[in-house]
Amino acid sequence: MAAITTHTVLTPRINTHIRTSGHPEGAPVLFLHGNASSSIFWKEIMEKMPDEFRCIAPDLRGFGDTEDLLIDATKGLGDFVEDLISLLDTLEIENYHLIGHSMGGAVAQQLIAKDSQRIQTATLVNPGSPFGFGGTKTVDGQPCWPDFAGSGGGIVNPEFARLISEKDRSNSHPQASPRVVMNTFYWKPPFVPSWEEELLDGVLSEKIGVDRYPGDSVPSDNYPFTAPGKWGPVNAMSPKYVQDAVERFVYCQHKPPILWIRGADDQIVSDHSFFCLGTLGKLGFIPNYPGEEVYPPQPMVSQMRHILDRYTVDGGHYLEIVMEGTGHSPFIEQPSDFLEYLLQHLTEHR
C-alpha cells in the first residue's frame, strides 16, 4: 500500500491542504472530491495506485483543512478552477491526469475548459451535470423557470447542514444525520465501507454557514419557491452561474480523452435524483408541484451524455462505463474494479 502524506501548499490564491502518494517524479494525477466530502474519499484508490503515478488530492475551497475562504457562486465553479490552476502552477506541474467525482466531476469539466492543454486524460466519476444541479428540464439544459428556482442553497436540508456543523456522528436523525445520509445515498445499501469513520470525518469537514454551506438563497414565486443566492458550493453549482461554461468545455481546443464511469444505482446524480426537487415533487414529497411538463426531474445523466456526444462531434473521445451494483461512489464500493478501468484509461492515453 502506498504511503499517503498530507501537507499544506501556500499558493497565491489560497493555502490548500493536499494528500499525496506515489513517486515525486511520477506522472501527476489530480483527484477532486465531491460535495459534503473531502480528499480523504480518494484514500483507498491513492493507496492502491502504482508508484509510477504522483497522486495529488486537494481539499477544495470550503472543505477539509484548506484555508477557509468564501466561494463566490456568481463565478460558477470558477473559484475552484482558479484555485486548482494556482496549486498546479505552485507545484510546477506541466501536465497531468484529471479525475473528478460528483461535484468534483463538474469542476473537472470546467477545468478542462480552462486548462485543457495540460490535461493528458480526464476521468469523470458520477459527475454533476454540465448544466448544474437543479432547475433544468431538457438534455440541453433549458431552465424550468427564468430565475432558476429549484437550484442553489435553498434546496439543501438545513438540518443536514446543522448536524454537520455540530459534528454529529449519530444515527439519531433518520432524514438528516450525516452518517445516515452518507450510508443511504453515497453508496448502494446495504454496503458500508470498512473505513466508514474516516469517510464520515470527510463529510463533517465541510465549512458551514449562510455564506458557506448550504449557502444563501432568495425567495421565488416559482416552484419550489427558492432561487439561488450568491455564496457557497451549492449556489456555485446552480445553472444560473455554470451554463456559460458548457460551450467552452465542448469546444476547448485540446480535447483530452474522457472516461465517464458511474454507478448503475446512483441516487444523487441520475435522471431521477432523490436530491432533485422535480423528482421529490413528482413523488408527492413537496406540495404545490406544478406537474412534470413544467418541472420534471432533471435528466442529469442524459445531459452529461448529450454534452459528451457534442464533445465527440467536435473531435474529442469518451468512453462510458456503468458499474453494476454500485451507487454514487463506485471507487469506494468496488475499488479493485474501478482501479482496473482507471489504470487502463491512464496507460492507454499516456
Among residues 328, 334, 319, 309, which one has the least CA distance to residue 264? 328
> 94: closest CA among 140, 185, 25, 186?
25
- Which tens digit of pLDDT belongs to each residue from 327-337? 999 999 999 99
Cβ(133)–Cβ(215) below 8 Å: no
Q: What are phi and psi of 346, to 5 degrees?
A: -65, -40
User: Confidence band (pLDDT; 50, 70, 90) for 2?
Assistant: confident
Cα-flanking dihedrals φ and ψ of residue 31, to 5°?
-105, 125
pTM passes above 0.95: yes
Phi, psi of 24 (to 5 degrees): -60, -25
CB-neighbour burial class of residue 175 (10 A; exposed 0-12, middle 13-18, buried 19+):
exposed
Please say whether the beta carbons of 21 and 3 come within 8 A.
yes
SS (H, E, C) 259-302: EEEEECCCCCCCCCCCCCHHHHHHCCCCCCCCCCCCCCCCCHHH
Cell match 469546444: residue? Answer: 251
pLDDT band at residue 350 using 50, 70 and 90 as cut-offs:
confident
Please compute the mean of the pLDDT values over residues 149-155 and round it to a whole number: 98
**Mean pLDDT on 83-102:** 98
Task: Name residue 9's beta-bridge partners.
Answer: 16
Please, what is the end-to-end C-alpha distance for the chain in angstroms? 23
Q: What is the pLDDT of residue 160?
A: 98
Q: What's the farthest any 2 CA atoms get from each other in the chain?
A: 58
Q: Are residues 42 and 57 in contact, defined by beta-carbon separation less than 8 angstroms?
A: yes
Could you give the CA distance from residue 241 to residue 7 in angstroms, rounded to a whole number?
32
- pLDDT tier, 106 (very low <50, low <70, confident <90, very high otherwise): very high
Task: Name the residue ranges covered by the structural domains of the chain.
Answer: 5-348
User: Cα 141 vs. chain centroid, distance in angstroms?
Assistant: 18
Q: What is the pLDDT of residue 349?
A: 84
| 3 state SS for the chain | CCCCEEEEEECCCCEEEEEEEECCCCEEEEEECCCCCCHHHHHHHHHHCCCCEEEEEECCCCCCCCCCCCCEHHHCCHHHHHHHHHHHHHCCCCCEEEEEECHHHHHHHHHHHHHHHHEEEEEEECCCCCCCCCCECCCCCCECCCCCCCCCHHHCCHHHHHHHHCCCCCCCCCCCCHHHHHHHHHCCCCCCCCCHHHHHHHHHCCCEECCCEECCEEECCCCCCEEECCECHHHHCCHHHHHHHHHHHHCCCCCCCEEEEEECCCCCCCCCCCCCHHHHHHCCCCCCCCCCCCCCCCCHHHHHHHHHHHHHHCCCCEEEEEECCCCCCHHHHCHHHHHHHHHHHHHHCC
| Cell digits of residue 228 | 439561488
Q: For 155-178, how does the pLDDT look when each residue is reduced to its tens digit (9 = 90+)?
A: 999 999 999 999 999 999 999 999
Separation of alpha carbons 142 and 135, rounded Å: 9
Across the chain, mean pLDDT equals: 97
**Angle, vertex CA 236, rays to CA 234 and CA 242, nearest 5:** 130
58-84 pLDDT, tens digit each: 999 999 999 999 999 999 999 999 999
Please check whether the domain covering 5-348 is classified as CATH 3.90.650.10. no
